[in-house]
Each structure stands twice: as structure tokens, then as C-alpha cells.
Amino acid sequence: MSPNQFGGWIGGVLGVVLGVAGGAIGTYYSIRNTHGPRERGFMVRAAIVTWIAGLTFLVLLFVLPSPWRWLLWIPYSILLPTGIILGNRRQQQIRREETATSTSS
């Protein structure tokens, strides 16, 4: 193995480790910073769906042959931002409902 190949492997492995660690930290704090039980439950479900979708996307990128793997980016680039926007709206709605419930009690 040449030094350039070795450096590429180190960069690839380090990138994966840092990416997964960043995702795990972001997931942890997204769940930790919720305000109530319904919001926390929603965030746990949203995190599970997001991790499964992301991992499925990555697996398909590695498994599918070349013309099809590039087409995966079309639904991904539409569904990811849409999911983020709708998820944020739902989280804010749950937060407002929980706040209204706790202040009226």
C-alpha cells in the first residue's frame, strides 16, 4: 500500500468516525433539550427515522450500480429538507401544546 493510499484510508475512517460522533452528539442534545414528555417522545421517534433513512441511503449508495446510485440523490435532496421542515413544525406545535397545558393546569 502506498503512502497516498494509506492517507486516504486514514482520512476515510476518520471522516466516518467524526461524522457518526457528530450525529450521535447532535441526536443526544436534540433529545436532551426537549421541554416535555410528548416532545421528547417525538424527538426520539424522529431521530430513529432519520438515522434509519440516512443509513439506508448510504447503504444504497454503496450497493446500487452507477447509474442508479446517482438517481438516489433526487429523492434524498427533496425528502431531507422536507422532513426537517415538517419535523421542526411538528416539534414547535407539540412544544406550544405542552406549554399551554402546563400553564392552564
Task: Tell me the C-alpha distance between 16 and 43, whole Å.
Answer: 24
What φ, ψ does residue 91 adopt, rounded to 5°? -60, -45
Q: How far is CA 36 from CA 2, 18, 39, in A?
A: 54, 30, 5
Task: Tell me the C-alpha distance between 14 and 1, whole Å.
Answer: 18
pLDDT at 105 over 80: no
Task: Tell me the C-alpha distance between 105 and 100, whole Å.
Answer: 9
Enumerate the domain spans of the chain. 3-104
Write the pLDDT tens digit of every residue in 18-66: 999 999 999 999 999 999 999 999 999 999 999 999 999 999 999 999 9
| Between residues 23 and 3, the one the model is more confident about | 23
| Between residues 50 and 103, the one the model is more confident about | 50
What is this structure's pTM? 0.86
| Between residues 73 and 6, the one the model is more confident about | 73
Q: pLDDT confidence of 1, banded at 50, 70, 90? A: confident
Q: Collapsing DSSP states into helix, strand and coil, what is residue 33?
A: coil
Encoded amino acid at 73, one letter: W
